[in-house]
Chain A
Amino acid sequence: MKKLLRSSVCALAVLAVGPSLTIADETCNSPFTSALIKGQEDFLHVWTLGEVGVGDESDKLVTIDVQPNSPTFGKVINSVSVGGRGEAHHTGFTDDRRFLWAGRLDDNKIFIFDLIDPSKPKVVKTITDFADKTGFVGPHTFYATAGRMMIQALSNGKTHDGQTGIVVYNNAGDLISTHPMPLDNGGDGYGYDIGINPAQNVMLTSSFTGWTNYMMDIGQMVKDPEAMKRFGSTMVMWDFKSMKPITTMQVPGAPLEIRWSLRPEDNWAITATALTSKLWLVKQNEKGEWQAKDVGNIGDPSKVPLPVDISITADGKGLWVNTFLDGTTRYYDLTNVEAPKEVYSKKMGSQVNMVSQSFDGKRVYFTTSLLANWDKKGNDNEQWLKAYDWDGKELVEKFTVDFKAEKLGRAHHMKFSAKPTKAAALGE
């Protein structure tokens, strides 16, 4: 990859990319990713699942122009098919924001894209031995730390249940270490997301389900009582430096995305549980012990709206929560994080999964796909990206990209990037 890195640098000797090139969902990045751009993003990259009968049927990274002043605003400007369908899911930038790692939950392939020209991402390396080398499968969360990429897996290659672990690679894509999720002291072995609070030297993880469930048809799964028992119900607080669990907290119903408040004076994280439809707050008590607390419902839990992605505002005062089954996004006022209050909701379509907002919170983007076998069927299987402006009261639609009409596939994880600043790489 270093050779490729060098050749890419040579190709763009003058209009090279400064350190502040690539930007993700700005409020939900790893704190180790370098400088945030707090203005207008230029491109949106959508990690897209190939779909039978749609275009080339391959998983792909789709790039959309989101710069309002651009003549191609709201249009697909690039698409990189990676071959096959392996359950494309999440992506994450390296700490220098130069490379985007994109994983597949079924065949465990990890594609590393070079974004030196963010309008034309290029695959520079593919990791194909993730399962063989680690024993884990389902590389889900890609979370940058200094010079490394931490990956939370969802399952394992032997039993395909939820017992799994965390894998650490260096930025060159070489395996460094593996860390099983705890099975003692209340641990259930499941994994899902990672959130690090470096000031406190803590890492929080959540828990979902194993390969057997996430690759099963959702209709079949919900009718299988045994399958429905195989979901995680814990969050683990780790000593990040030593990678040792500190405490395991019981959080029933599959706690998913983890969002630490970005305000320096705050010291809490929030998550949503998929099956029980609740918001949980994780913070320290008076003794300094980490605890998880149910702080409210999301919609009507009896209707199982299935909360999925969440996105916290930069000031820690607001939270977008998508509920997949009713296709609705909800905005919560977190002014009192002990009692979040839903202040806005909007029906986005038949289904909605991911949400990404700009750092200033003025632009919010939504996509549809959850998992290939969990997405709705027939006409309810809408697949789109929708871009909105948010003024604090109302979402105003700016454009929609219909991923079926564009013959792209199922729209999943989103990351932002910006045009290169005018600079010259050293040595050129």
Chain B
Amino acid sequence: MGMGKPLAWRSRYLPNGYALLVLLAFFLSIANNQRCLANPAYPEAGTYKLQKIQPAPSGWVLQDSVWIPRRLSSYTKDKVTLFSFFYGTCRDPQGCPKAWDAFLAVHKAVKMNPKWHNKVRLVFVSLDPNADTPEMMSIFQSSMSTPEAPWAFLTTWSESFLTPILNDMYVPAWREFDDKGKQTDVINHLLKVFLIDKEAWVREIYTTNFLDPNVVIADIGTLLLEEE
């Protein structure tokens, strides 16, 4: 999956097997989520206020195989949104897999709570538009999204469309070089997960060491109670 291969080649041959591997990895991680216990140190949902930290990011993204640009803002308003970045070949246990685990736990919690149905969405934006094509995103989305808990998998036309979104969110991301000075497919990035309210304000940010799904679920509850 080298950087130099034509995009069409990738689009034609890679999606199915590639996506299946990724899906297998995160299905295996579901077992871990079953062991999540509430952290008693954190307050109950609705007993605290989440401040408005910054506006949600803007930009243009692609969602499905038709390659039609869509405004990212249409995925970050009117619902409470859990938003993060990932890429399909990411294997750093402190990176994307950790985000997958958290998103799976939140997705399950939303599905199990009828009061939350269609009030919460999850959004993943790919860090690797070269490899993570819209076709690939469609496979992820059809496997993961449900009507009561929509989960959008987005990508961009190219890294030049992605970079402003990353800058808006203060997420540094860098492609590693190998020993011979060639770029690899490893993208180092600081894992950040953003909780966005329905007015498109970021209300909480979770980083690698502090991404506790139970805390995220409590924060979602706080935002939904705030709406009531």
Contacts and interface: CB of A to CB of B under 8 A. Distances in A.
Interface of A: 2, 5-6, 9, 16-20, 31-32, 34, 94-96, 98, 146-148, 168, 170-172, 174, 176-177, 198-202, 239, 241-244, 421-428
Given A19-B188, A146-B210, A426-B163, A241 B42 contact: yes
Given A174-B54, A423-B177, A18 B48 contact: no
Given A424-B174, A426-B159, 13 more contacts: A2-B167, A5-B167, A19-B188, A19-B189, A31-B210, A94-B170, A148-B205, A239-B43, A241-B215, A242-B48, A424-B175, A425-B163, A427-B162
Contact of A171 (B51, B162, B170): B170
Interface residues of B, number: 46
Contact of A96 (B54, B164, B170): B170
Interface in B111-142: 127
Main secondary structure of the interface of A (DSSP, over half): loop
Most A-side CB within 10 Å, residue of B170, B176, B177: B170
Given A2-B168, A170-B54, A242 B49 contact: yes
B202 A147 contact: yes
B14 interface: no
Contact of B192 (A5, A147, A170, A201): A147
Contact of B209 (A31, A94, A200, A425): A31
A201 B41 contact: yes
Contacts of A20: 188
A164 to B, nearest CB: 19
Contacts of A426: 127, 159, 162-163, 166, 173-175, 187
Contacts of A148: 53, 205
A425 B208 CA distance: 20
Contacts of B187: 426
A172 B190 contact: no
A17 B81 CA distance: 30
Interface string B172-184: 1111110001010
Contacts of B159: 426-428
Contacts of A201: 39, 41-43
Contacts of B192: 146-147
Interface in B24-41: 39, 41
